[in-house]
Chains A and B, each alone.
Chain A
Amino acid sequence: MVDVVKLLYDVLGVRILRHEVIKGGVIIDVKPEDLGDVVRGITEGLGGIYTVVVGVDARGIDGKYHNIYVFSLDNLKTYILIRVRLSPEDPKVESITPIVKGANWGEREVKDLLGINVLGHPDPRTLILPDDWPSNTYPLRKEFNYYVRPKPSNLGSSYVPKRSEEVVALPYGPYHPLLHEPEYFELHIKGETVVDVEYRGFHVHRGIEKLGESRLTYNQIPFVAERICGICGFVHSVCYCQAVENAAGIEVPERALYIRSLVLEVERIHSHLLWLGVACHVLGFDTGFMHAWRIREPVMYLAELLTGSRKTYGINLVGGVRRDVNKDSIEKVVKILKNVKEEYDYFVRSLTSVKEVIKRLEGSGILPKSEAISYGVLGPVARGSGLKRDVRIDHPYAAYKDVSFKVPIYSGCDNMSRLMIRVEEVYESISIIDQLIDKLPSGPIMSEDVEVPEFKEGFSGVEAPRGEDVHYVITGRFSKVYRWKVRAPSYNNIPALKVMLHECPLSDAPLTIASIDPCFSCTDRLVVVDVVSGKKFKVDFRTLARRGRL
């Protein structure tokens, strides 16, 4: 860690007011006016890649608003958290979007939810709040109660879609057979070619962060966190628990770590199989769809065997896991996985025989490497554009330091390479599971003391099937978190669709959208009111069922 700090001082020098080393990262305080230079220094000087912007209403701590810009130094295996403290009267800060495109959404989100003005933002439209949300009402400020439902007002900030006159538009969504969750893509087409795309998301807001900050206790949040996403829920609970553990410096027993990785990999397998099925369906190849899901079914059984539930496993608590694995379940796991591997192998090989599918995958939805870096895309999308990014390697967590596996990288930048990466990752996950099972240590699965001191910061990343999932936690009083920030992978990947869909034939637009394996409910986890109807949106316990129907 120390060398990182030194490096930072070499690059940024006096701009750093103070620094604080936390587990897995470094927090540096800078003046708001220096922000631009600091960010430039970190992206250009240290090759940091944008991760997330966190806005904190820290008036309860030091009477100010905080904006925390997180960058990931993959090569140094650490995160840099740049903190600027803003005056509580009118919080405002220069936009960094001109420097890193990826920050576009993050800054707009902060603007929407905390009322922190972002000056010089290229696209300062409303991102998250509904069109009829009353102005000067900021849900994530502490004075805003989680159960308040403000009256819709048309005076509020309204979302103005950008449309050029000569272009012809096709609406994709909010309710479209392709999208299994409400999102609005507006494809601007010329002939059968997409020339531009307008995105309007955040229809599925559930106010989970606010809920976590206001109502739930430390050990209740994992169960809610798991319901952020219908497919990779476990990722979120692990990530949350790790963040809290990092903040409180809790030592999690080895066995618990192993079990976490084990389940994580199981989840990855079923998620990728699900995606393969969806991809086949989008390409009109329903046979492949059905067979992919046929192969997926034993994996689901396996998850239920290990955790007691097909989805939303609910075995995570701060400080460890609740449920141990026993001998015969381990044997079952090995047996089932062997079978799955054979089936899967056959599936992949016979999928290559379906020429038209392959033809459509190749060369569509191009995302060049440079754009990938600047948008800070994650997971298979990044790896498909030749970026070597994998949290399991870059910021090792759980038990991944003990297992050896290769991260598939393709530089085709198209849908084909994204598909191939997922295909290969399934093999990798299977081998990882085998290794974990061999090395599985004995011992407790829950650490004894789970005391959580107040106002400590924890940051943690987990490699979800869709990419890096990030949670940031400030611990609070009365065994409640002060601030809990979730950033799902799709949050960084969806903006990159603008690039991918450009000049892409209309027939492949759905595939391209699907190729980032978007998880909209992850992305939209935030606010209280549903954009479309302006009505309350119930927390959906049956996300899997919804996705399962497809």
Chain B
Amino acid sequence: MITSDVLLPIYLLIIGLIFALILRDSKALDPALFISSVASVTMILLAIQTLTSDLTIPKITTELQILLGTSNLLKTFTLSLDELSAFFILTLGIVGLASSIYGIAYIKRYLGVESLSFYSLAYTLFLLSMYLVLVSNDVVLFIISWELMAITAFFLIAFERTSEVARRAALKYLLMSYSGSGLIIMSLLILYLLSGSTSFTSLKGLNLDVTTQYLLMLLFTVGFGIKAALVPMHNWLPDAHPEAPSNVSALLSGFMIKTAVYGILRFTVSLLRLNYYVLGFVLASLGIISAIYGTSMALLQTDSKKLMAYHSVGQIGYIFLGIGGGLMLYPNTLGIIAVSAGLFHVLNHAVFKSLLFLTAGSVIYRVGSRDLNILGGLARYMPITFISGSIASLSISGIPPLNGFASKWLIILSLLLSNHPILVIYASLAIFVSALTASSFVKYLSRTYLSNPIKSLSNIRDVPLPMIIAQLFLSFLCVLLGVFFYVPLNLTLRTVSNIFIADLTSVNILITKVFNILTFLMLLLVMIIISLVVSIYTLRRRARVVPLWTFGTRDSLPTKLGLSATSYYTEFEHTYSFSYKFRLYVYRFIIDPLTSKFMKFVRTYDSVDTYLYVMLVVVDIFLTVLVLIVLTMVV
């Protein structure tokens, strides 16, 4: 029974795949997406079941038979499902569910332009590969599914084949992620050679000498860092994520980049137990750098999805700050809390970031633009989108009582209290970062929903039902996870304790302390609700609608009135230019040397159609897999 539990989503998704393969264009979309949403639900249930069943039950493991190459050689991979993967599966489930439901309506806008069956194929495969990454208990399967994820993501990013920007971005992403996965594969090969077995269980308790440890640390950090888009390995993300269809970008930003977090926790922390302090220091530093850098870059964006993409960099930074900080203080209770807060932020970020991308998608769906310079005034036409968008924005800015606040609060709190000078400095900077986040999202809200539209908005109404459902579902989660945050926190704590084999007795003190903030959050929630009700039901009665105060000009004001998104925070940028100078240096010394090569590729292949790239990619993956198989055969 348990076995089938793990396999259930896989089966479902495979059915989805079959649908996508056999059915023609638009007919393929609905069943595939429906099935994938069902699969997501099963994932959620599965994860919850695992996380809530008490620790004594052994980890669910199962065997997956895959036919490879010629029929005579048969390979069995073991899948496993422990708390760590369960937690990530939960996240995947939530994001997957939302984006699948959303996609049902959203992808229809590509009807006749792009092949929808192709989309549903790639999408289902994408979900499947991510799920496999999380459950695989075997190096080879891990690598295969990892590569599969990379390619399918590539296809989804380059979904709009017509747009050259998308193709370039996709290629950039692909090449970078290959260089990343190359490193990962390398390090996994090393491990394999050391342990002599491809199963994770054999890696556990593998004792490594110092040099190997640092080597692996480096390889893993860079390898996964590229996937996670940590500065300075980030620069594929702001190009790639905005180009994909919005629900896919939700999946990309919401979950795919977090597989890197999973990878790091899985290999460097859970299995190999590398030197926590050094690793933590590296991760935390990279984290805070990405947080500051990504957010301050996001401050300047005039493209809604690019803005969010940069925020993904920033928020990943937050996550790594939490985890890294936690690792630095490992034996300490605060360390446990910090790591679990980091994990918690993974969940929260998945929720609000995918919600943000979905709202941006809804705006694109109706208005057809994501340029903040010309958008505006949509709040009156798309109220639900506006509400969910603002909830998400407030949540990412860490506004109580929403979920973004809970995890940020825990991260900052645990780091500040840890009397560790470096971490304290990092935490204080993190407060600064959240102010930046808030400002940039006020810009997003005002330029998208509130202030004067530059384009005249005629007969714009709110988005179709599936999209609304997806948005409301996520916004509801934002509030729920924020107010009752100790529930998911318990899950994360448990996960972490399982990683570290740490006992939770000391941690429970915090849980008891949490009581007061709960009462306070309740108070806050009540006050907010009261003020909402009062202002809507009493004040609005008395409201009299008058034209906008245009300072007495007789003719209505000029069309382009107000502040263009470009000119928000120019003074701030001017004054606090150091953080932007930093960008300059990073580009000059690190990114440009790296990217220039990729760009050369791009230019050479630019004239050719996307399929050429695909060919290259396919060949590449075959080679990698072949090498792995051969190796496994040899031993």
Q: Does B209 contact A (CB under 8 A)?
A: no
Q: Would you give the 0/1 interface string for A146-176, flagging 1 where the beta carbon is closer than 8 Å to chain B?
A: 0000000000000001010111111111111
Residue numbers in A under 8 Å from B71 (CB-CB): none
Q: Does A443 contact B (CB under 8 A)?
A: no
CA distance A192 to B569 in the complex (A): 9
CA distance A131 to B553 in the complex (A): 12
Q: Does A189 contact B (CB under 8 A)?
A: yes
Stretch in B110-118, B380-388, B511-519, B554-562 with 4+ CB within 8 Å of A: B554-562
Residue numbers in B under 8 Å from A190 (CB-CB): 567
CA distance A213 to B561 in the complex (A): 44
B499 to chain A, nearest CB (A): 48
Q: Does A249 contact B (CB under 8 A)?
A: no
Residue numbers in B under 8 Å from A199 (CB-CB): none
Beta-carbon contact of B550 and A171 below 8 Å: yes
Beta-carbon contact of B567 and A191 below 8 Å: yes
Residue numbers in A under 8 Å from B570 (CB-CB): 191-192
Residue numbers in A under 8 Å from B571 (CB-CB): 191-192
CA distance A170 to B557 in the complex (A): 9
Beta-carbon contact of A168 and B551 below 8 Å: no
With A190-B567, A191-B571 known as contacts, the answer to whether A174 contacts B561 (CB < 8 A) is no
Residue numbers in A under 8 Å from B551 (CB-CB): 171-176, 184
With A175-B552, A532-B554 known as contacts, the answer to whether A165 contacts B567 (CB < 8 A) is no
CA distance A170 to B570 in the complex (A): 17
Q: Would you give the 0/1 interface string for B510-537, flagging 1 where the beta carbon is closer than 8 Å to chain A?
A: 0000000000000000000000000000
Beta-carbon contact of A173 and B552 below 8 Å: yes
Beta-carbon contact of A189 and B552 below 8 Å: no
Q: Would you give the 0/1 interface string for A6-34, flagging 1 where the beta carbon is closer than 8 Å to chain B?
A: 00000000000000000000000000000
CA distance A192 to B563 in the complex (A): 9
Q: Does B506 contact A (CB under 8 A)?
A: no
Residue of B nearest to A186 (CB): B558
Q: Does A182 contact B (CB under 8 A)?
A: yes
CA distance A445 to B534 in the complex (A): 73
Beta-carbon contact of B553 and A168 below 8 Å: no
Residue numbers in A under 8 Å from B563 (CB-CB): 168, 189
Residue numbers in B under 8 Å from A169 (CB-CB): 557-558, 560-561
With A191-B567, A191-B571 known as contacts, the answer to whether A165 contacts B552 (CB < 8 A) is no
A181 to chain B, nearest CB (A): 12
Q: Does B564 contact A (CB under 8 A)?
A: yes
Residue of A nearest to B568 (CB): A191
CA distance A168 to B567 in the complex (A): 10
CA distance A182 to B550 in the complex (A): 13
B53 to chain A, nearest CB (A): 57
CA distance A173 to B551 in the complex (A): 5
Beta-carbon contact of A532 and B552 below 8 Å: yes
CA distance A108 to B580 in the complex (A): 50
Q: Which of A161, A166, A167, A191 has the most CB of B within 10 A?
A: A191
Sorting the interface of chain B by its residue count into under 10, 10 to 19, 20 to 34 or 35 or more gives 10 to 19
Residue numbers in B under 8 Å from A175 (CB-CB): 551-552
Q: Which of A131, A173, A191 contacts B554 (CB 8 A)?
A: A131
Residue of B nearest to A173 (CB): B551
CA distance A186 to B559 in the complex (A): 13
CA distance A161 to B555 in the complex (A): 10
A366 to chain B, nearest CB (A): 20
CA distance A167 to B560 in the complex (A): 7
Residue of A nearest to B573 (CB): A191
Beta-carbon contact of A174 and B552 below 8 Å: yes
Residue numbers in A under 8 Å from B552 (CB-CB): 173-175, 182, 532
A154 to chain B, nearest CB (A): 12
With A191-B567, A191-B571 known as contacts, the answer to whether A168 contacts B561 (CB < 8 A) is yes
Mostly, the A contact residues are loop
Q: Would you give the 0/1 interface string for A519-550, flagging 1 where the beta carbon is closer than 8 Å to chain B?
A: 00000000000011100000000000000000
Residue numbers in B under 8 Å from A189 (CB-CB): 563, 567
Residue numbers in B under 8 Å from A168 (CB-CB): 560-564, 567
With A189-B567, A191-B571, A192-B567 known as contacts, the answer to whether A184 contacts B553 (CB < 8 A) is yes
Residue numbers in A under 8 Å from B564 (CB-CB): 168
Residue of A nearest to B454 (CB): A168
Q: Would you give the 0/1 interface string for A110-124, flagging 1 where the beta carbon is closer than 8 Å to chain B?
A: 000000000000000
CA distance A398 to B558 in the complex (A): 49
Residue of B nearest to A167 (CB): B560
Residue numbers in B under 8 Å from A131 (CB-CB): 554
CA distance A190 to B563 in the complex (A): 8
Q: Which of A165, A174, A533 has the most CB of B within 10 A?
A: A174
Residue numbers in B under 8 Å from A176 (CB-CB): 551
B568 to chain A, nearest CB (A): 8
With A191-B567, A192-B571 known as contacts, the answer to whether A163 contacts B558 (CB < 8 A) is yes
Residue of A nearest to B559 (CB): A163
CA distance A134 to B553 in the complex (A): 20
Residue numbers in B under 8 Å from A532 (CB-CB): 552, 554
Residue of A nearest to B563 (CB): A168
CA distance A453 to B304 in the complex (A): 76
CA distance A531 to B560 in the complex (A): 24
A472 to chain B, nearest CB (A): 33
A539 to chain B, nearest CB (A): 21
B59 to chain A, nearest CB (A): 57
B573 to chain A, nearest CB (A): 9
B402 to chain A, nearest CB (A): 31
Residue of B nearest to A184 (CB): B553
A335 to chain B, nearest CB (A): 46
Give the residues from 566 to 595 in chain B that come closer than 8 angstroms, CB to CB, to chain A. Answer: 566-567, 570-571
B453 to chain A, nearest CB (A): 13
Give the residues from 360 to 387 in chain A that come closer than 8 angstroms, CB to CB, to chain B. Answer: none
A234 to chain B, nearest CB (A): 31
Q: Which of B554, B557, B561 has the most CB of A within 10 A?
A: B554
Residue numbers in A under 8 Å from B561 (CB-CB): 168-171
CA distance A169 to B454 in the complex (A): 12
CA distance A161 to B566 in the complex (A): 24
Residue numbers in B under 8 Å from A161 (CB-CB): 558
CA distance A532 to B550 in the complex (A): 13
Residue numbers in B under 8 Å from A173 (CB-CB): 551-552
B517 to chain A, nearest CB (A): 40
Beta-carbon contact of A165 and B554 below 8 Å: no
Residue numbers in A under 8 Å from B566 (CB-CB): 191
CA distance A91 to B434 in the complex (A): 69
Beta-carbon contact of B557 and A171 below 8 Å: yes
A102 to chain B, nearest CB (A): 27
With A168-B563, A191-B570, A191-B571 known as contacts, the answer to whether A174 contacts B553 (CB < 8 A) is yes
CA distance A281 to B566 in the complex (A): 31
Residue of B nearest to A533 (CB): B554
Residue numbers in B under 8 Å from A167 (CB-CB): 560
Q: Which of B553, B563, B570 has the most CB of A within 10 A?
A: B553
Residue numbers in B under 8 Å from A531 (CB-CB): 554
B522 to chain A, nearest CB (A): 42
Residue numbers in A under 8 Å from B558 (CB-CB): 161, 163, 169, 186
Residue of B nearest to A166 (CB): B560
CA distance A192 to B562 in the complex (A): 11
CA distance A175 to B550 in the complex (A): 9
B571 to chain A, nearest CB (A): 6
Residue of A nearest to B549 (CB): A175
Could you list 20 examples of A-B contacts with CB < 8 Å? A163-B560, A168-B560, A168-B562, A168-B563, A170-B561, A170-B562, A171-B551, A171-B553, A174-B552, A184-B551, A184-B553, A189-B563, A190-B567, A191-B566, A191-B567, A191-B570, A192-B570, A192-B571, A531-B554, A532-B554
Chain A residues within CB distance 8 Å of chain B? 131, 161, 163, 165-176, 182, 184, 186, 189-192, 531-533
A-B pairs, 6 with minimum CB distance? A191-B570, A191-B567, A175-B552, A174-B552, A169-B558, A171-B551
Known A-B contacts: A182-B552, A191-B571. Give 16 more (CB < 8 A): A131-B554, A161-B558, A163-B558, A165-B560, A168-B562, A168-B563, A168-B564, A170-B561, A171-B551, A171-B557, A176-B551, A191-B566, A191-B567, A191-B570, A192-B570, A532-B552
